[in-house]
Chains A and B, each alone.
Chain A
């Protein structure tokens, strides 16, 4: 037992070292991760290639040494430890370096291990087969949506007042014309007796159609696109609203992943520690 633990430690340390060296080389040659490069359709192409590689590796598992490694207990344990260390480091940073090469490589490694064991889990018959598949496939989908979908995630800000407007801006300041107009109809702040705001409510018009925005209650233009109430400026003359527009095309994949993970957790609670 003790031998296997020390072997796991060595594997994990090696893995982190290799990832560290590769990231350092990438940082030195390519520079910071060019996240825009990975926007659609590049992410989709790369994801399909990655999937093919994983499936091919899995099919060659009897002779391929990398495949055998990715399916070993060692790979599972080191993936979890690597990810835990990554999260701890990020949790200590004021500006989380989740777009650093080492973090990206870590997620890619974890995702590949999860994909391999999910493929194997499909073939293994046992009492916990469904629980295993639901949780691991759920985690895989959530990781896929977060990782491959990251470059397609867009966040825009827009000032909305009583004239219909279409111009929004990205965080970096570049402008984007929306394919609908937004206009503020009414803005209301409810205060309690102590004079503390209890709720903010904005009635806006999307292409002339009235919708309501509240804190915790955005308006979904489509499943992938939502408008959030962010801030407001008010003086005697007028009220100006700041809204956030989020475009997340991979949202459906993420939702399916999260729901499957929840189902997996419930199955785990009901089934307990059975084998």
Chain B
């Protein structure tokens, strides 16, 4: 039976395969097939664990912070694999592996095992799309952020990759937010109620929209756009788990994991 106790095995395998892929990507001047394969193998390893956990818990593993971190690692590998396959930037596999490993390591040391019950509030058709779409968008935007930082301080220009990841990430962020709004109507009566988490989600979305508008209107230097992307990602972290520590979230209807 797959459970958190054997997660370290999966995490170590996925991380090691990711490292092999990262090394292969760095050593190859062209797109390395080995690296592409490794990224997809790491993806598959985490995917097997997620599927197993889902079956073992008899509910989608999307409720606790630990479980969302698991999805985040999965989508990081997927977006890393996809980005490398598509644009061939040699640092992408190592970035994706590094970030995914951090999240997997946190889960190894702090698995936050919870009971199998999915509370009634989360039993909805919107639950899986809402969380999965958001996690995928977070992973794309995480990659976009790393590439922007690289673009700010590195020598190579990676604007095309940043822009593509940004468009994909913001598209999913929008759909994630709106599936949340549609779900909120089903659950609580209104589409939007300015709960702390909702306000931070809106702010994050707007800061990302700012970066896209600056790019499209050709306003702001590369440094300004990259800085906006970094600020947006910080806001996203607040929205994801930071709000739980805010006094304004004491009444929040979005905190299921405390």
A interface list, Cβ under 8 A from B: 1-2, 4-5, 8, 73, 76-77, 80-81, 83-84, 87-88, 90-94, 96, 98, 146, 153, 155, 192, 194, 196-200, 214-218, 226, 228, 244, 246, 248, 254, 258, 261-262, 264-266, 268-269, 272-273, 275
Whether B187 and A216, one on each chain, are in contact in the complex, defined by CB atoms closer than 8 angstroms, is: yes
B interface list, Cβ under 8 A from A: 115-121, 123-124, 160, 163-164, 166-168, 170-172, 174-175, 178, 181-183, 186-192, 194, 196, 199-200, 202-203, 206-207, 209-210, 213-217, 219-221, 224, 235, 243, 246-248, 250-251
Contact status of A248 and B172, CB under 8 A, knowing A1-B220, A94-B247: no
List 21 A-B residue pairs with CB atoms under 8 Å apart, sorted by A's residue number: A5-B220, A8-B219, A73-B219, A83-B206, A84-B203, A87-B199, A91-B196, A93-B248, A94-B251, A98-B194, A155-B189, A198-B117, A198-B118, A216-B120, A216-B121, A244-B189, A248-B189, A258-B191, A266-B171, A268-B167, A269-B172
Nearest CB on A from B155, distance (A) = 20
Complex: A84 Cα to B247 Cα, angstroms: 20
Contacts of B250 on A, CB cut-off 8 Å? 94
Contact status of A273 and B217, CB under 8 A, knowing A91-B248, A198-B117, A268-B170: no
Whether B210 and A81, one on each chain, are in contact in the complex, defined by CB atoms closer than 8 angstroms, is: yes
Whether B194 and A216, one on each chain, are in contact in the complex, defined by CB atoms closer than 8 angstroms, is: no
If over half of B's interface residues share one DSSP class (helix, strand or loop), that class is named, otherwise mixed; here it is helix
Whether B190 and A153, one on each chain, are in contact in the complex, defined by CB atoms closer than 8 angstroms, is: yes
Nearest CB on B from A157, distance (A) = 11
Whether B243 and A91, one on each chain, are in contact in the complex, defined by CB atoms closer than 8 angstroms, is: yes
Specify which of B175, B189, B243 is in contact with A266 (CB 8 Å cutoff): B175
Whether B178 and A258, one on each chain, are in contact in the complex, defined by CB atoms closer than 8 angstroms, is: yes
Nearest CB on B from A99, distance (A) = 10
Whether A261 and B178, one on each chain, are in contact in the complex, defined by CB atoms closer than 8 angstroms, is: yes
> A246's closest neighbor in chain B, by CB?
B189
Whether B194 and A90, one on each chain, are in contact in the complex, defined by CB atoms closer than 8 angstroms, is: yes
Specify which of B186, B191, B200, B209 is in contact with A216 (CB 8 Å cutoff): B186
Specify which of A83, A215, A262 is in contact with B121 (CB 8 Å cutoff): A215
Contact status of A258 and B115, CB under 8 A, knowing A5-B224, A91-B203, A244-B189: no
Contacts of A92 on B, CB cut-off 8 Å? 196, 246, 248
Whether A248 and B190, one on each chain, are in contact in the complex, defined by CB atoms closer than 8 angstroms, is: yes
Complex: A266 Cα to B196 Cα, angstroms: 27
> B231's closest neighbor in chain A, by CB?
A84
Q: A215-B120, A273-B167, A275-B216 are in contact. List 13 more A-B contacts (CB 8 A).
A: A84-B207, A84-B210, A87-B206, A91-B203, A92-B248, A93-B248, A146-B191, A153-B190, A196-B115, A218-B186, A258-B191, A264-B174, A265-B170
Contacts of B248 on A, CB cut-off 8 Å? 91-94
> B216's closest neighbor in chain A, by CB?
A275
Whether A216 and B164, one on each chain, are in contact in the complex, defined by CB atoms closer than 8 angstroms, is: no
Contact status of A1 and B190, CB under 8 A, knowing A87-B203, A215-B121, A265-B174: no
Complex: A146 Cα to B224 Cα, angstroms: 32
Complex: A32 Cα to B211 Cα, angstroms: 35
> B115's closest neighbor in chain A, by CB?
A194
Whether B172 and A5, one on each chain, are in contact in the complex, defined by CB atoms closer than 8 angstroms, is: no
Contacts of B221 on A, CB cut-off 8 Å? 1-2, 5
Specify which of A77, A146, A254, A258 is in contact with B214 (CB 8 Å cutoff): A77
Contacts of B192 on A, CB cut-off 8 Å? 146
